[in-house]
Structure 1
Amino acid sequence: MSRLVRAVVLLGMLLIAQGAAAQTLRLVGDAWAPYADVSLLNDGLSTDLIRTALGRAGYTTEYEQVPWARAIHGVGEGRYDVLINAWYSEDREQIGEFSQEYLVNRLRFLKRKESTVDYQNLTQLHPYSIAVVRSYAYSPAFDNDTNLKKVPVASFSTAVRMLAAGRVELTVEDEYAAKVALGREPAEVRDNVEFLPRSLSENGLFILVSLKTPGHDKIVADFDKAIAAMKADGSYDKLLKLHGL
């Protein structure tokens, strides 16, 4: 092989490598089983769905699990490209572009078993303290109700332990995520709390692509198209069953 041919081949390989590197997306999320957790199969359901969809769309990905506040701050700064497990809120549109929903979460309140708290509307809950995770968006009505006594905490584990100890009167979390998390708590925590019958809301789960990521609109469009194709060919449902949902 001549030097010229070798040079052309080497240049082509370099261009291919650079193109591949340009398509690598930095995914980020917090530990939120069963949706995202590095201790779970394929890092959790959301991570698996998103990684599969983006892979089918031609992207490579790398995933990092960090606390929620760091994840969303990192997306805003452009240190990460894709927040994998975001609920919609208007303020987040200032830092990223939302996909279409790829899952739906059912949010439910939890109380101590001996508590007589009832919930039919948010006004009924104004007298009670409610532990909420910092930077989480729950529902527009809940988030914007300034009469609710919200107690910010770092995680659901902290919230439910405060609830069991009587330091707050309620907390709120996605139903599946709460059930998984409660299974990891001591018996004196999980055996002393229960769900209220009525859910707060059903929220769509989205990816949020940083506005500082080049081609963020195309990434969103490619992801939405890939999720739709997965639902059509049955691979979406297979992944849900694989993760026990």
Structure 2
Amino acid sequence: MANISQAATLKVCYDQWVPMTIFPSEGSTARGVVIDMLHQIYTAKGYTLEYYEVPLARGLSMVKDGLCDMLPEYVFSWSAENDFVYADEKTFAYTTAFVVRKHDPWHYNGIQSMQGKRIATGPGWDYSSASVEYQKYIDDPRNSRFIEVISGYDDVVDRIFTMIKEGRVDLYADNELVLQYALNRLGMNDDLKIVRPGLEKKLVERAIFSKKIPTKKRQKLIRIWDEGRLSMKGAQEKFYLDKYGVTFQE
């Protein structure tokens, strides 16, 4: 019985990326758009889900080491295929934007427009699917004094917004839905603003699965995800987006 139970349990690591993925709290059990969708897909196939709410870098490490079976959203990168196996069906493809101080006239116009700007990001975050050049700029040691890597458990985006407001960093790029949601939730519309356009391409996110899972079992998990995510296009996807007040356009 123990073996049967273990075989039907899916260990899911995820980070806080409101409203797409949310850590539950005393005041709310909500887990976000993506986790709700994932829950429906796998419970319909008889799985019990165990959630591990961790920072992204920790979640990636846990999936790599086999401590978690999967993580539902990570940017697609060819180099990351050495550590994980990606699902074929994307979770979402997000339009990006920037956040700056309210009266800052700055606009993104390629890498040259980043010169002299203090940029916030997080550990393990990868923008290469949206802009290879932007990611190279962040990774370049020559720019390190202008790059602020903010780590933490569940409030990284909130702290970045506060740092921009206080003038400690100048700008931050992310999924436009996440930025707008945070701006409204934090009540900072009088202090900060969203700047469009963002990076050159959309931020493509896919589920990743551990290479520590036996191949046959992993292939089954990926097939369930791909077929389930594809079947949610349309009314079911809109249901979950509406639940969190999100207007999404791919």
For the aligned pair, the TM-score class normalised by the smaller chain equals 0.7 to 0.9
What is residue 33 of structure 1 aligned with on the other side?
A: 18
How many pairs were matched up?
227
- 2:100 maps to a residue whose letter is K
Q: Aligned letter for 1:115?
A: D
Higher-Rg member (1/2):
1
Q: What amino acid maps onto 1:113 in structure 2?
A: K
Q: Distance in 2 between matches of 1:55 and 1:211?
A: 22
Partner of 2:171: 170
CA RMSD, 1 decimal:
2.1
Counterpart amino acid of 1:151? Answer: E
User: Paired residue for 2:97, among 108, 114, 117?
Assistant: 108
Mapped to 1, the partners of 2:241 and 2:102 lie a distance apart of: 31
Q: Which residue of 1 aligns with 2:149?
A: 152
Structure 2: distance between partners of 1:54 and 1:204:
22
Post-superposition shift, 1:129? 1.4
Amino acid at match of 1:51: H
Normalising by structure 1, what TM-score? 0.83
CA offset at residue 25 of structure 1? 0.7
Q: Give the aligned partner of residue 231 of structure 2.
A: 229
Is contact 2:96–2:197 with CA below 8 Å preserved after alignment?
no
Give the counterpart letter for 1:141 in structure 2.
Answer: E
- 1:119 is aligned to 108
Distance in 2 (CA, whole Å) between partners of 1:119 and 1:230 is 34
Following superposition, the deviation at residue 85 of structure 1 comes to: 2.0
SS in 2 for 1:103: strand
2: CA distance, partners of 1:115 / 1:242: 34
Match for residue 238 of structure 1? Answer: 239
Rounded to whole Å, the distance in 1 between the matches of 2:237 and 2:104 is 40
Higher percent of residues as helix: 1
Is 1:69 paired with 2:50? no
- 1:168-221: CA deviation from partner (whole Å, max 9, x where unpaired): 111112111122223343x5x552111112121311221111111222232112
Q: With a CA cutoff of 8 Å and minimum separation of 6, indicate the structure with the bigger relative contact order.
A: 2
* TM-score using structure 2 length: 0.82
Give identity over the alignment, percent: 23
